[in-house]
Amino acid sequence: MIKLTEVVARYPRAAAPAVNGVSIVAPRGRVTAVVGPNGSGKSTLVRALLGLIPLERGAIAVDGEEIARLDPRERARRVAVVPQRESPAFPLPVRELIALGRRPHLGALSTWSAADTRAVDDAIMAAGVGELVERSSDELSGGEWQRVRIARGLAQRASSLVLDEPTTFLDVAHEMSVFELLAGLARDGMAVLLVSHQLNLVARFADEIVLLHHGRVAAAGSPSTVMRGDVLERVYEWPVVVVRDPAVGAPALVPLRGRRD
């Protein structure tokens, strides 16, 4: 479980905090999505979770322990984070890339064990990247690259998984398969926290949505609670209409053309 409590985080030399008093709970067995317009602080939350930005106020806890008190490797054993962007300077075989997910479990002097191999194999199977294993990282398409990175996160065998915009550059089929994967992981007991701008898929797959605006929580709750035309229009500053998708029964956002003034 991941719990953010009144988190305030500011970039160095910035006038205002990027995240200004945000509280989120991402429990086990559920998919929690953080959405919001560009610059609302979504990615900043992930960076704060990674310890790359200091918290001005508030706390982030994973499975009851504050991450500020945890050794980075210990934190990485509890929560796996799949960052938004990643561009390795040198190509790596996919299996080795996924194997890097075992890094939090391997000290400088530890050797690779059968347990590590099992964790990697399980992650490959769970993420469905079995046929990519022998390829090189520079040969993968955008979608394949994402799924491989998710596999790496799964290899960490953490109880929580955080993903920052996991479906950028993915086509419909791949997007759906990622979301279905995430839903399956949550069903198996993981706490899945995902940052996304893909409102419609989030509305279908997330158990809880947190809508951020200018670093604060504008709305939080089930998809039907948050996906309301007036709320979304105010936050995204664009005319929208929310319809209930008859095929799947989830609310869907339909942006309108032009400004209604």
Partner 1 sequence: MTARLPSVLGALAIVLLLAMIAGVAFGNVHVALPVTWRALRGEGDPLVVAVVRDLRLPRVMLAALVGGGLAVSGVSLQSTLRNGLAEPYLLGVSGGAAVGAVLAVAAGAGWLAVPVAAFAGAVAAVLVTLGVAHAAGGRADGRMLLMAGVVVGAFANAAIMVVLANAPPDTIRDATWWMMGSVSGAEWRTVRALALYLAIGAVTLWLVARDVDALALGEEAAAALGVRVARATRLVYLVAALVAAATVSAAGLVGFVGLVVPHLARATGLRSQRALLAAGMLIGAALVVAADLVARVARPPAELPLGAVTALVGVPFFLARLRALR
Alpha helices in 68-129 (DSSP H): 72-78, 94-99, 114-127
Nearest distance from residue 52's CB to partner 1, in Å?
A: 6
Nearer to partner 1 among residue 126 and residue 133 (C-beta): 133
Nearer to partner 1, 15 or 109 (CB): 109
Q: How far apart are CA 2 and CA 14, in angstroms?
A: 27
Which of residues 197 and 216 has its CB atom nearest to partner 1 in the complex?
197
CA distances from 240 to 19, 35, 104 (A): 26, 16, 44
Cβ 72 to partner 1 shortest distance, Å: 5
3-state secondary structure 132-199: HCCCEHHHCCHHHHHHHHHHHHHHCCCCEEEEECCCCCCCHHHHHHHHHHHHHHHHCCCEEEEECCCH
Q: Which is nearer to partner 1, 59 or 133 (CB)?
A: 133
Chain centroid, CA 78 distance in Å: 15
Q: How far is the CB of 138 from partner 1 (least distance, A)?
A: 10
Q: Number of H helices and number of E strands within the chain?
A: 9, 12
Q: Judge contact between 79 and 161, C-beta under 8 A.
A: yes
As measured in angstroms, the least distance from the Cβ of 86 to partner 1 is 5
Residue type at position 45? L
By C-beta, is 5 or 84 nearer to partner 1?
A: 84
Query: For binding to partner 1 (CB under 8 A), which residues are involved?
Result: 12, 46-47, 50-52, 71-77, 80-90, 92-93, 96-97, 100-101, 103-104, 106, 108-109, 149, 153, 156
Least separation, in Å, of the C-beta of 258 and partner 1?
37
